[in-house]
Amino acid sequence: MKAILRSYRQAPRKVRLVANLIKGKTVPRALVELDVLPKRASGPMKKLLMSAVANAKENDGVDLVNLFVKEVRVDQGTILKRSMPKSHGTAHPIHKHTSHIMIELITSADVAPSKKVAKLEEAPAKKVSKKIALAKVKAAADSAKSRRAPSTEARQAPKVKAEKKAK
């Protein structure tokens, strides 16, 4: 379930800001975010997303609610080269960048849970009170302190003995 927009007249760097925002989200959530986003690329991106949804509905019979944005790829298109007249009869180049945007959707049944999510589901987290957690942190700090170099008091002890011998 794909939709492709070719030669969109905006720089890929600017379009990727919008593309990265909707990647990995559900289609309804992505549509809402594109509605409120104040970027020029959000309008064509929303139109392209709706085209991909229409493709999914027509070809596979999948409903809008069951779709996720699997991939949004923004590639560099052709560069239109123009020139701007400058002083003393010279001309400076102007590059007008274009973008190719590709959106791929996936159904919720095809989304595999990640390894982290699987581990969290297997082992339920134990509830620990704040007092116990604080005690563990203090114990770890004390053990780390004892492993360090001797304290300043231990280092000063030989000096005191030397002073007593001098008297």
The structural domains of the chain, ordered by start, are 2-112 (3.90.470.10), 118-166 (no CATH)
Residues 43 and 36 sit within 8 Å (Cβ to Cβ): no
With 0.95 as the threshold, say if the pTM is over it: no
Evaluate whether 101 touches 12 at the Cβ level (below 8 Å). no
What does the pLDDT look like over 102-150, one tens digit per residue?
999 999 877 665 555 555 556 555 666 777 777 777 777 777 666 655 5
Residue 99's beta-bridge partner residues?
8, 76
